[in-house]
Amino acid sequence: MAQDTLLKAESRRYIKSSSFIMALLFTILCGAVALSLGYLINYFAKGHFIHSTEAVLDAEIRYIETIGPQLARAENPEQIYLLLGEDGGLPNNIPAAVSRLAEGIIVFEYPDNNRRYAAKIHTFEDGRKMLIGTDITSISKDFKFMQLLGIASIFFVMAVVFVAYIISVFVVSGTNKIAATANDIINTGDLSRRVNVGSRWDDLSNMAAALNRLLDRIQELMQGVRQVSDNIAHDLRTPLTRMRSKLETLKHDDNKNELLAETDQLLSTFNALLRISRIESEKKRSQFVDVDLKVLLEDVTAFYEPLAEEKSITLTASLTETCIHGDRNLLFQAYANLLDNAVKFTPIGGTVSITLYQTDQRAHVEICDNGAGIPEQEKDKIFNRFYRSEKSRRSSGTGLGLSLVKAVIDLHGGGIQVKNTYPGLKIITIL
């Protein structure tokens, strides 16, 4: 499960990030606000423009009806009073290209003074028609200004949205760099990797710099721990080897055999510690090749068949053709440790089975016995170094076999599951 989560984190893209979702939501909200604002500005400005123009024209019409069309004189350039012919056509000095402002109101440019007018054609009781217009040049400029203001507000909001998008891309890019570096450290075990800090002006760069300092400290501590562990293992392995050589010269065979066994056990412990340390610290995949997992498990099974026969244990294997990319020697050691534990803790006359199958392009190996199993509260502890349950303390061992198994499976990017089968225990590895 941890590996699957890691793979998902590595494949994460901008479109699935929280920054993109927030930027998209921000875009939708700002876009809605901008469109609403532009619409309202245009609606109210146009409404005010039409209403005020129509009110002025209606007032002029009432005035002309009062004094009569024959007395109408455009003494003010802001008004136009033009009697129309019997056909009702526009005068020659009125351009043919007129526009409609509202019902019954036309707009045109008056060529005599190059000003803009809004006008109505009014029919009097005697049938005469008059074009009554008022100057809207100033009001029209105000209306255009309000329209431009609405358009500018939309573009301004869009600019804000674009800047928000650029910021979100920058944030996602920075967090992805940090996540990629962390994933590389997890996958390779190389604590010397650092997050690239290009600047210090933004919060992400400050966080990256703090993470780099944290990694420096972690690397320093891990190197110290590994150095101490390796030094202890190396320093003790040499005198133990010399001790074993001298023990072979003893004359009393019984004492010699017991001491040799104890010495071999200590040497085995230190060798296992050094092997696990190398696997966990180096994480090298230079020895990886295409491995036929079926053939490898057949070899492991054949290797433990004599031991199983001594305890009258039935050892069965159900293996399908499966190939993976990995280190054959390490995988052999890992599955040998698992099968050794299964045979060791299975009672006389019991059964041990090993199954290999493939699902979702992942290789599953199940090793199942019908022994006593382990307590549920200890399932998460059995892969810790030197951990041995109360039942296993009565048998020989160092408590490092399952730790080595976990180190090898982790190196191959796999996972391990432990299940009690009542009776027995099933250990599943997924590669």
Is position 317 within any domain?
yes
Give the tokens for residue 364: 């599953």
Query: Residue 354 above 90 pLDDT?
Result: yes
Give the tokens for residue 347: 């009672």
121: amino acid identity, one letter: I
User: Phi and psi (nearest 5°) for 146?
Assistant: -65, -35
Q: Tell me the pLDDT tens digit for each residue of 26-84.
A: 777 777 777 777 777 667 777 777 778 888 888 888 878 777 776 666 666 777 777 77
First to last CA, the chain: 12
Percent of the chain at pLDDT above 90? 7
391 or 249: which leads in pLDDT = 249
Looking at 267, 282, 297, which one is the last position of a domain?
282
> Does residue 340 sit in the same domain as residue 404?
yes
> Does residue 375 sit in the same domain as residue 342?
yes
The b/e string for 150-189 (b: 16+ C-beta within 10 A; e otherwise) is beeebeebeeebeebbeebeebbebbbbbeebbeebebeb
Residue pair 357/317 in contact (Cβ under 8 Å)? The answer is no
Give the tokens for residue 96: 């043919």
> Does residue 307 sit in the same domain as residue 410?
yes
Is position 177 within any domain?
no
Tallying the residues shown for the chain, one arrives at 431
Counts of helices then strands in the chain (DSSP H, E)? 8, 12
> With 0-12 CB in 10 A as exposed, 13-18 as middle and 19+ as buried, what is 249?
exposed
Query: Residue 127 above 80 pLDDT?
Result: no
Q: Which domain holds residue 235?
A: 203-282
Number of domains in the chain: 2
Q: What share of the chain is helix, strand, coil (3-state, %, to 5)?
A: 55, 15, 25
Give the tokens for residue 1: 């499960």
Q: Give, in order, the Cα–Cα distances in Å from 306 to each of 227, 239, 340, 427.
A: 40, 34, 12, 22
Can you tell me which residue has the tokens 């409609």? 100
* Distance, C-alpha 3 to centroid of its chain: 15
**Closest C-alpha among 99, 65, 89, 60 to residue 76:** 60
Query: Residue 135 above 50 pLDDT?
Result: yes
> Does residue 351 sit in the same domain as residue 229?
no
Instruction: State the pTM of this model.
Output: 0.47
Work out the mean pLDDT of the chain and round it to a whole number.
76
> Does residue 425 sit in the same domain as residue 344?
yes
Q: Tell me the pLDDT tens digit for each residue of 4-29.
A: 443 344 445 666 666 677 777 777 77
358 or 38: which leads in pLDDT = 358
> Does residue 392 sit in the same domain as residue 306?
yes
165 or 284: which leads in pLDDT = 165
161 or 286: which leads in pLDDT = 161
Q: Tell me the pLDDT tens digit for each residue of 199-237.
A: 667 777 778 888 888 888 887 777 766 666 666 666 566
Residue pair 121/82 in contact (Cβ under 8 Å)? The answer is no
358: amino acid identity, one letter: Q
Residue pair 300/336 in contact (Cβ under 8 Å)? The answer is yes
Q: Best-predicted range by mean pLDDT among 182-186, 230-234, 298-302, 389-393?
A: 298-302
We report the CATH number of the domain holding residue 273 as: 1.10.287
425: amino acid identity, one letter: L
Residue pair 4/414 in contact (Cβ under 8 Å)? The answer is no
Q: Give, in order, the Cα–Cα distances in Å from 160 to each of 24, 43, 168, 173, 291.
A: 13, 24, 12, 20, 56
**Per-residue model confidence (pLDDT) at position 367:** 93
